Amino acid sequence: MSDSRTIQLTFPEPDVALLTFDLPGKGANILSRSVLEEFYEHLQALEKRFDLAGLVITSGKPDIFIAGADLREFAAALDADQPPAALRKQTIEICTQGQSLFGLLANRPYVTVAAIHGISVGGGAELAVWCDRRVFSHAESTQYGFPEVKLGLMPGWGGTARLPRLVGLGNAVEMISSGESIDAKAAGLMGLAIDVAAPAELVPAAIRVVRAEQQSGDWLKDRQRWTGPIAISETELGFLGATASGYIQQHTHGHYPAPLSALEVMLGGAGVDIATALKMEADAMSDLFGSPVNRALINVFFLTDRNKRDTGLAKPVAPKTIESVAVIGAGIMGQGIAAANVRRRIPATITDASPEALRRGVEKVLEEVSFNKTIKGPDAKRAFEFGPLLTPTSTDAEVARASLVIEAIVEREEVKREFYSRLEPLLAPDAILASNTSTIPITQLAAGLARPERFVGLHFFNPVRKMPLVEVIRGEKTSDETVATMVAYAKRLGKSPIVVGDGPGFLVNRLLLPYMHEAVQLLVEGVPLKAIDKAAKAFGMPMGPLELYDIVGLDTAMHAGAVMHSAFPDRVSDSPLLRALYGAGRLGQKSGAGFYSYRNKKKRAEPDPTLDEFIRPLLGGKSQPEKLSGEQLTDRLFLPMLLEATRVLEEHVARDARDVDLGLIFGIGFPPFRGGLLFWADTLGASAILKRLEPYKSLGARYAPTPMLLEMARRDAKFYK
């Protein structure tokens, strides 16, 4: 047996073995190749014991059972750049080996029980379904699921074959095709968990299950039953297939093939024995692994993983701990920021110049933090628990007690600077002052401050509760310690911070504006509004750019556009169409009309014939609208964004291509199945991008190749090295 310390074998009782997964030096248990080999060695060693009544499998980690397979090993297979046939063969072999290994748990001469506390996902969840029984911890951290579809894959170690036989085909289809996790209560209701216990009682509860199963013999009957087809009528099977397929198509829009593939495997595997179902699973996995969507989603996984470890600095700097926060401004953004702090049990003070706005803001914060997903409404117990952490105030003195003050007031430089000059003298010397500005340069705002090294941009995205991104913007004098402290603080809020350099629009808004600006340009060239938004959504954006204008507000867009026009007049023009709509009071969703009309009961976007009155005078006498193909519209919308991304890299506004891609995915919903803007660009290649730019030379600087792109084409280089 190997001398590895990953899996500890003990005997809590003479005839009950306990295998405890505890990967040394890591926060999570991962099923790497070496760990799987060690697991096999343990099972082989236990085969020599003829007196065992049961085997219990658990974890030594605080809140993780097993977090799945080692994705770095999977990525290495992709990096090997094998021919498709070789990669397909290797994938089938890996699946078959995993199925065979975990299958040992279902044919040992003793009861096998998974004792699950904390996160159990992917390969860890598959290991558990091969056990005869499962006992769950009732802790909130216990979450069980099959998230493989979120990587463009499906379970490949028996999950699609075993889970339907344990919990029913309908439950299995929902879990595997959605990729969402369930808690212990849900696991108990569907029969996945035979018992739910306190974390400290988990192993004793599992041993009791072993004793009960040895007495009843039910485990042997279930083993036999689970090797055969699933008892379901053709009518039920057809109905489930039709409804699940429709639901998946509605949510994926055809961009993500894995959920449908998993559905087909589970439906097909229902009518055959488990050995055949396992072969179907391995074959289907070989079609998915290495596909463009799989490669893109694995890239997003690694972007996220990198961000969790990234301090935002080249050299390590110890961050300070933020003990309390004050939020200035009780509007939508201020409410969201305050709620994010309270939810993480960071005391928050909130203030506003308007007493009525402050009252409403406090109500909204308490409403948000007391929301209970189970009852789908406010929970009095949660309100009582979180209420004392929120303090409304109208005095600067109370605000100044906080170790971090976040300003989220009107987007006007003079108003912000007046507030800073009033508040900064009251702050403790080591307190940090931050602005939630989305466009105004931080160095500009810091002018006149006594301690500019303690001033930083902290740009949250709306709605704060849903959007994971936070831009940490450093001005010319912002210190490394301030940056490190804000990165650590944002992560404490459960956010994904990226550190960016100063400048108009920072990173995300600077890249978003060319895309939105181009949509308006296309309108005044005669391209139908519906065609523009349809092209963006076909590319994978969550909504079209013109609908996004309406949600953001045309007044806000006008202000941001003016900032960008002032900074980059050669690439961003002052739009006469936007000015005309703004002048007519068409501000978007909030005013009932913008590019679309919202004057309906549900206030949803619908075409507005009166929009033509604003567009027609700007068409320049064109009698026929422009007819552009879907690919041409994609180029017009996304190539300016891509070129701007090369500029922010050239100017070191963004530190790395990975920050650009993570920022756009988490900040504006750039389609994850494309892997990120620059990952997508790499799939095209720099030379191909230059060719796609050529037809648009006449449109000016916004389509001009940048030095970085030209050099990349010359060297056949990629953004991801």
Supply the residues annotated as catalytic. 459
DSSP string, 392-425: EE--HHHHTTSSEEEE---S-HHHHHHHHHHHGG
Burial profile 332-366: b = 16 or more Cβ within 10 angstroms, e = fewer:
ebbbbbbbbbbbbebbbbbbbeeeebbeebbebbb
Are 431 and 404 a contacting pair, CB within 8 Å? yes
Are 608 and 593 a contacting pair, CB within 8 Å? yes
Strands (E), 141-288: 143-145, 195-197
Are 287 and 280 a contacting pair, CB within 8 Å? no
Are 279 and 172 a contacting pair, CB within 8 Å? no
Amino acid at 647: R
618, containing H or E segment:
none
* Close Cβ partners of 354 (under 8 Å, ≥ 6 residues apart): 330
Instruction: Kindly tell me the burial class for residue 57, based on how many C-beta atoms sit within 10 Å of its own C-beta (0-12, 13-18, 19 or more).
Output: buried
Are 205 and 195 a contacting pair, CB within 8 Å? yes
Distance (Å, whole) CA 358 – CA 335: 9
Phi-psi region of 403 (alpha: psi -120 to 50; beta: other; left: phi over 0): alpha
Distance (Å, whole) CA 338 – CA 329: 10
Distance (Å, whole) CA 123 – CA 140: 21
Cis peptide leading into residue 463 (ω within 30°): yes
Distance of CA 154 to the CA centre of its chain: 18
335, containing H or E segment:
helix 332-343
721, containing H or E segment:
none
